[in-house]
Amino acid sequence: MLPNIFLVLVFGSREIAQSISVETIETEAFNNLLNVSEISIQNTRSLVHIHKRAFNHLPKLRYLSISNTGIGIFPDLTSIFSLESDFILYICDNLNLHSVPTNAFIGMTSEFTTMNLFNNGFQEIESHAFNGTKIDKLVLKNNKELRVIHEDAFKGAFGPTMLDVSSTALETLPSRGLESVLMLVARSAFTLKRLPPLNGLKSLREAQLTYPSHCCALLSWDSNREGSVITALKNGSSNCVDNSPANPSDVASDDSLTLDGPLASDFVGFTSAEDVFGSMDFYYPELDLCQRRPALQCSPEADAFNPCEDIAGFGFLRVAIWFINILAIVGNLTVLLVLFTSRCKLTVPKFVMCHLAFADLCIGVYLLMIATVDLMTRGHYSQHAIEWQTGVGCGIAGFLSVFGGELSVYTLSTITVERWHTITHALRLERRLGLRHASSIMVVGWVVCLGMALLPLMGVSSYNKVSMCLPMDIETPLSQAYVILLLLFNVGAFLVICGCYLCIYTAVRNPEFPGRAADTKIAKRMAVLIFTDFLCMAPISFFAISAAFKVPLITVTNSKILLVLFYPINSCANPFLYAIFTRAFRKDAYILLSSMGCCESKANLYRMKTYCSENVNRSKSSSGSNKNSKAPRSVVWMSSFPHVTPRPQMQRFNLSV
């Protein structure tokens, strides 16, 4: 039985609003109402169910609104059979609606429809949901739980020409059924990280998106497509006849466009020639080349942090990054393998060297991850940019970069300070750094570096700002302070290293120092160490500090040259300068190889030298030459730089690392 309010709707206000008496709308409640053009059911939270065929045979209906109700099942609209053009449907603010079912709108109208289905509780739009419809505009914005639009949701439908999926939880759009979309709106759609195949958006003329990289992909695709059109036209097309007016505005302002033929009625609802021609290739794809299309408009535009380019940016960097990461990984893995398998006593330099090799290995793995993603997305990175930069992989890469870089700098400083301390206190063995002290120092370093690397994952700056996954986000004062602190840490470490080596060199230049014959080699050695540190830290620190104070002196594109060629210099050079080029490391390496049946003669030679050295030390100890427990200063110095060949008469005192 119909409530009295329905009679008011037929003859008067045509509205059910703020009613607390309506809980259900029965079958054929709106039946055969030949003169009703508008039905509005609003703000009736008590309404929980609309029975099937409640809206039946309403040929004059052109506006239907079902808003802010408590219904939990999508209303049956399949028997309305409206004959009015430009049908407008509002189904919004119904938070208990969870899906749009199959064939939800078939039979509603045969004319073009504007569907406003926003701010509902939709989680899914099912297959063939829009079957049998002609959709002009489809607004799905603010359906915050909407995660899935089925691949075949638009199968059997024509349109939509405008699609709005702003503020939804969609992760992608269907690859089929969007051929007629002229305008795509997806603002604040942060989970929409990947666009559908772009060939499925062939009519697109305007896009308002969330991420700049998506605009890069669309503009690149549109440019390539237009290039193909121009090439095809130059080669000649038998189907194309240039009937375009001299003034393009003549077409744009032609509101009285008419089409003859069997498809004329299908274009009712479009308002311009662009609308018509933008949809003609849906019917006649072979005429697509003949159309003069306006340039695609897309926002937001690419910014300084995310230019429209691949990760590597330059072709030579793509080659260099592979060479550098392989060199860093192989070199540092070799150092770790030899040091971990060595049967010799673990010394402080070896212990610290293990930490340095591990830190530099992290940088190598970071570069390997970047190089791999660059190779996989070459030429179409923009389509995968957000998925990569906001994904777990970029976070891991950024963590490895910051942790490895800071631990490497910290360890280099520790090694340098240890060498300085050893030289300046050469005659006081009780003051030399022991393993216990070295372990405590490295524990502090690990805690500090882990904290620095974890902060961007906790919201202080961010690794997803740029494709290289480095913490370049300085939008908040806290993020800016973090980046500046990080850079000052590196600059301070470099100054400590330079200061220590200056003190060391001053010490060995002392006329009382017994090893002056090796001064030239020592100077060259220190020059190489400081120069590699300078090359690694100075350029990046200079440009990064200026950028941190929001006065960038270099673009992100050009900064990739620094990040690929200069940033990993230490990671590549350290295993060679501090380990592989030293005699102690070569001894351990040959002994390891001899256990595999290789280089046995070399290994035996090193074993013999070690045995003789131990015997000499024992004899010296027993004869009282070391009665004050003070080692010769030259012995301690040469152990700090074991690759420098001592004078022949000092060979027996060489205590290699």
Is the pLDDT at 326 greater than 90, yes or no? yes
Cβ partners under 8 Å of residue 418, min gap 6? 348, 349, 352, 433, 438
Averaged pLDDT score across all residues of the chain = 79
**CA distance readout (Å), 292 to 81, 91, 245, 276:** 38, 37, 11, 13
For residues 344 and 226, membership in a common domain is answered with: no
Residue 244 lies in a domain: no
- The pLDDT score that the predictor gives to residue 361 is 95
Element holding 76 (H helix, E strand): none
* HEC profile of 167-215: CCCCCCCCCCCCCCCCEEECCCCCCCCCCCCHHHHCCCCEEECCCHHHH
Q: What is the distance between the alpha carbons of residues 289 and 629, in angstroms, rounded to a whole number?
A: 91
- The pLDDT score that the predictor gives to residue 142 is 96
Cβ 650 vs Cβ 638: under 8 Å: yes
- Preceding omega of 160 cis (within 30 degrees of 0): yes
Higher pLDDT, 590 or 239: 590
Of 230-244, 256-270, 499-513, which range is least confident? 256-270
Of 41-50, 146-155, 564-573, which range is least confident? 564-573
- The pLDDT score that the predictor gives to residue 614 is 52
For residues 319 and 191, membership in a common domain is answered with: no
For residues 340 and 487, membership in a common domain is answered with: yes
- The pLDDT score that the predictor gives to residue 273 is 37
For residues 334 and 220, membership in a common domain is answered with: no
Is the pLDDT at 12 greater than 60, yes or no? no
428-482 per-position pLDDT tens digit: 666 677 888 899 999 999 999 999 999 999 989 999 988 999 998 888 999 999 9
For residues 185 and 325, membership in a common domain is answered with: no
Count of other CB atoms within 10 angstroms of residue 109: 25
Residue 597 lies in a domain: no
Residue range of the domain that includes 400: 315-576
Is the pLDDT at 182 greater than 60, yes or no? yes
- The pLDDT score that the predictor gives to residue 272 is 40
* CATH assignment at residue 154: 3.80.10.10
For residues 336 and 478, membership in a common domain is answered with: yes
Q: What is the distance between the alpha carbons of residues 296 and 292, in angstroms, rounded to a whole number?
A: 12
Q: What is the secondary structure of 308-343 as a DSSP string?
A: SS-SS-SHHHHHHHHHHHHHHHHHHHHHHHHHHH--
For residues 561 and 453, membership in a common domain is answered with: yes
Residue 294 lies in a domain: no
* CATH assignment at residue 405: 1.20.1070.10
Of 280-294, 457-471, 600-614, which range is least confident? 280-294
Residue 561 lies in a domain: yes
Residue 137 lies in a domain: yes
Q: Name the token pair of 255.
A: 């509101």
Banded pLDDT at 258 (limits 50, 70, 90): very low
Is the pLDDT at 566 greater than 80, yes or no? yes
Of 576, 596, 625, at which residue does a domain stop? Answer: 576
Q: Name the token pair of 500.
A: 């220590």
- The pLDDT score that the predictor gives to residue 622 is 52
For residues 169 and 75, membership in a common domain is answered with: yes
pTM, two decimal places: 0.75
- The pLDDT score that the predictor gives to residue 594 is 67
Is the pLDDT at 424 greater than 80, yes or no? no
Instruction: Report which of 208, 210, 200 is spatially closest to residue 285, judged by C-alpha positions.
Output: 200
For residues 415 and 320, membership in a common domain is answered with: yes
- Preceding omega of 642 cis (within 30 degrees of 0): no
What percent of the chain stands above pLDDT 70?
72
- The pLDDT score that the predictor gives to residue 538 is 72
Banded pLDDT at 627 (limits 50, 70, 90): very low
For residues 102 and 201, membership in a common domain is answered with: yes
Is the pLDDT at 634 greater than 50, yes or no? no
Number of domains in the chain: 2
Q: What is the secondary structure of 272-284 as a DSSP string?
A: SHHHHHHHHHHH-
Q: What is the distance between the alpha carbons of residues 283 and 263, in angstroms, rounded to a whole number?
A: 9
Is the pLDDT at 283 greater than 80, yes or no? no
Cβ 133 vs Cβ 111: under 8 Å: no
Is the pLDDT at 398 greater than 70, yes or no? yes
For residues 364 and 474, membership in a common domain is answered with: yes
46-94 per-position pLDDT tens digit: 899 999 999 999 999 999 999 999 999 999 999 999 999 889 999 999 9
- The pLDDT score that the predictor gives to residue 280 is 44
Report the pLDDT averaged over residues 492-515.
77
Of 576, 593, 612, at which residue does a domain stop? Answer: 576
Banded pLDDT at 242 (limits 50, 70, 90): very low
Residue 521 lies in a domain: yes
Find the angle CA(413)-CA(417)-CA(419) to the nearest 5 degrees.
Answer: 120
Residue 635 lies in a domain: no
Banded pLDDT at 535 (limits 50, 70, 90): confident
State the chain's maximal CA–CA distance in angstroms.
124
129-144 per-position pLDDT tens digit: 999 999 999 999 999 9
For residues 211 and 320, membership in a common domain is answered with: no
Of 558, 576, 594, at which residue does a domain stop? Answer: 576
Residue 351 lies in a domain: yes
